Amino acid sequence: MSDQVVFVSDTGQALTVGDLDKPVEGLPSWRVLVEAQRLHQEGRAAGSKNELARALECFEQAYNLSPEWPYPRYDAAFTVLLLDDPVRAAQLYEEVDRLCPGGFYTCKTTLAMLRRELAGEFFPGFAKAFMQLEWITDADHKAGMLAGIVEKYPDFAPGWKELAALLRDPEQRLYALYRGLKADPDPETKGMLAANLGLALAQRGERDAAVRVLAELILDPNRSMAGELHAKNALKQVLGIGGTPDAS
């Protein structure tokens, strides 16, 4: 069963059932000092109370104790973004990306967004505003804001990804997923879009198309670690051999 071929790419690369259970390549493991973990948690607690200067101080101390651990730098980057310093935020996200090149939470997505903002493609403060959409709890209001964003910036893949997650109509959701994938998404966004597109296609009875979308992502050398994991779980579900119910 494990050597059963699931998909063969246009270049002849085969994906087997056994490949779906292989560990994600490049999955890192960090040795983190207990004090660094404590300082990081203290920084997150300070940030939740809007004590941003204190949060940054804790994140810096945690980083100095365990400099290979990307989490303090990651949270520092977001904190700096909230303080309206996109240049420094981009620098910190770049450090995180070097520490964990396979992807670390939304690092690649936010970094790509910041680079486009700093290049003048988006208005100043766009990345901060988009990240803060996560705090909006009214789904209809959030969907309306996202619809406005993708109307203004149709090549902004993360906007399509977030909008697709809120759309109730299957056809509209499918359209948003396709549009996102056509918008040159960063590896993290591409992984989520492809995983959810594969599941959506399978629900429509388009099994072969679903397998292709998911398998091509798994075989993509530029995939993120999260993208690979989501795609493997989704493909196992499509094939009826397990997997999590949804990647969103």
What does the domain layout of the chain look like in residue ranges? 31-135
Contacts of 27 (CB under 8 A, 6+ apart): 102, 225
pLDDT tens digits, one per residue of 51-74: 999 999 999 999 999 999 999 999
Q: What pLDDT score does 208 carry?
A: 96
Place of tokens 């988009």: 130
Per DSSP, the chain holds a count of helices (H) and strands (E) of 12, 2
pLDDT at residue 102 is higher than 60: yes
pLDDT tens digits, one per residue of 122-150: 999 999 999 999 999 999 999 999 999 99
- Mean pLDDT over all residues of the chain? 94
pLDDT tens digits, one per residue of 27-54: 788 899 999 999 999 999 999 999 999 9
* Mean pLDDT for the stretch of residues 7-20: 92
- The CATH label, of 3.40.190.10, 3.40.50.1220, 1.25.40.10, 1.10.1060.10, for the domain at 31-135 is 1.25.40.10
Q: What is the pTM of this model?
A: 0.90
pLDDT tens digits, one per residue of 145-173: 999 999 999 999 999 999 999 999 999 99
* Mean pLDDT for the stretch of residues 175-192: 97
Quick one: tokens of 106? 């939304």
For the four alpha carbons of 226, 148, 139 and 46, in that order, the dihedral sign comes to: positive
